[in-house]
Amino acid sequence: MKYLVLLGDGMADYPIEELGNLTPLQKANKPNMDRMAKYSEIGLAKTVPDHLNPPGSDIANMSVMGYDPDIYYTGRSPLEAVSMGITLDDDDIAIRCNLVTLSDEEAYEDTTMVDYSSDEITTAESRELIAFLDEHLSTENIKFYPGISYRHCVVLKHQKNEDMHFVPPHDISGRKITEYTPKGEIGLELFNLMKRSRELLINHPINQKRIEKGLHPATSVWLWGQGRRPAFDGFENMHHIKGAVISAVDLVKGLGLCAKMEVPSVEGTTGNIHTNFEGKADAAIEFYKNGGEFVYLHVEAPDECGHRHEVLNKVKAIEYLDSRILDKLLAYFNDSGEPYKILVMPDHPTPLSIMTHTHEPVPYMIYDSTVNVPVDNNATYDEKYAASTRLYFEKGHEIINHFLR
């Protein structure tokens, strides 16, 4: 038996007027998913407990992967640090470092969060900017590390004080940052670092060139998502199958590495809608051909579209999951003649109307190739149908055991 989890990050949503009061999942042309739905178990799963805030992709993907966040979660950035190859000591704190675009008011506190991703700045540009900041702002106990696009990392060495409180930048798009600046003793120290980054970045040649091209410049760092080094049980030891994680983003790749799974690199993956969808499918097929049994294939694009209120692109991202990934994998599975199971689901909702994550349960679909009789000929894979079945996992981390067994 082969197993595939196809994870559309942030894919769940609310009905929206621009789509005729449908959700992107309802609007999308996804023939493979909707054909599978007729033979599948469909329901809802609560992937982020209400007491854990914010409801981020770190907690949600950890949950879908089968790890109880109440036991394993230590923070977002340490997972990304693992993927970046950063060695963390037990007393280190890793912090996510976004390159963001703030408005140009003179006082930092009066600015507005124009763009949490600096127009999805390229990795080549951002790596140069992060190296520049590291040269000017790093100390014996503060170090900058480059990641992908706008997503980077700051490590506080030998830090016992954890008094720091941050707000994710994608939660405050279009708002003045005044009431969302870092809090706490260490938070205030890091806020001063953020202000100094703006002074350094504002006239950097890379930003001047971006302005000339009509792109948002990276005018500041924004720190959030702090945590300490995680400790995971190995996925193969837990489930006795060989697994891999395929993703463009360091967060999910880091989860895979912490779970001691294979994490193949796929050229041309970006974390947005302009990514190598087919390459991810090909990487999964190659893993299966080499004896692998379980693939967790993560696609960030629907989430990015939700954060940016890109309505049609969110629909398109879901259609690409169906036509450019699922289509190839179904062809491979069916040609192989081996039975297979597929779990399709988001990690959390990222509603277009609010442009951030919510705690609400998400629709899941489990398809088993050995099921030959339709469960419901009227079934479709979307939020409304999933709610109608009344199947519900209150603890999202339990769904992977249900799927595998």
205 domain residue, yes or no = yes
Intervals of the chain under pLDDT 70: none
> pLDDT value at position 129?
98
Question: Which residues, at least 6 apart from 167, have a Cβ–Cβ distance to it below 8 Å?
Answer: 180, 224
Closest alpha carbon to 198 in 135, 97, 104: 104
| Amino acid (1-letter code) at residue 133 | L
Same domain, yes or no: 30 and 146? no
Structural domain boundaries enclosing 309? 2-73+232-404
This model's pTM is above 0.75: yes
The last residue of a domain, from among 227, 254, 288 = 227
Do strands 41-45 and 362-368 pair parallel, antiparallel, or not at all (unpaired)?
antiparallel
Residue 177 has a pLDDT of: 98
Give 158: exposed, middle or buried? Use CB within 10 Å, 0-12, 13-18, 19+.
exposed
Q: What is the DSSP string of 356-399?
A: S-----EEEEEEETT--S-S-TT--SSHHHHHHT--EESSGGGH
Distance (Å, whole) CA 322 – CA 310: 19
The helix/strand/coil state of 43 is strand
Q: Are both 124 and 187 inside the same structural domain?
A: yes
The amino acid at residue 294 is F
Reduced to 3 states (helix: H, G, I; strand: E, B; else coil), residue 131 is helix
Share of the chain above pLDDT 70, in %: 100
88 and 63 both lie in a single domain: no
Q: Is 78 a member of any domain? A: no
* Cα(219)–Cα(222) distance, integer angstroms: 10
**Encoded amino acid at 80, one letter:** E
Contact status, residue 363 vs residue 26, Cβ threshold 8 Å: no
Amino acid at 344: V
| Backbone φ and ψ of 5, nearest 5° | -105, 115
* Per-residue pLDDT, 358: 97
Per residue in 69-124, pLDDT (tens digit) is 999 999 999 999 999 999 999 999 999 999 999 999 999 999 999 999 999 999 99
In a domain? residue 79: no
* pLDDT recorded at residue 280: 98
Closest CA to 197 of 307, 288, 263, 111: 111
Total domains present in the chain? 2
Residues 364 and 393 in one domain: yes
The burial of 262, by beta-carbon neighbours within 10 Å (0-12 exposed, 13-18 middle, 19 or more buried), is given as middle
263 found inside a domain: yes
pLDDT (0 to 100) of residue 134:
98
pLDDT at 298: 98
Pair 385, 247 in one domain: yes
What was the pLDDT predicted at 325? 98
Same domain for 256 and 397?
A: yes
Please tell me whether the peptide bond between 302 and the residue prior to it is cis, using omega within 30 degrees of 0. no
What does the pLDDT look like over 296-338, one tens digit per residue? 999 999 999 999 999 999 999 999 999 999 999 999 999 999 9
Residue 209 sits in the same domain as residue 319: no
Same domain for 116 and 69?
Answer: no
CB-based contact 10:368 (threshold 8 Å): no
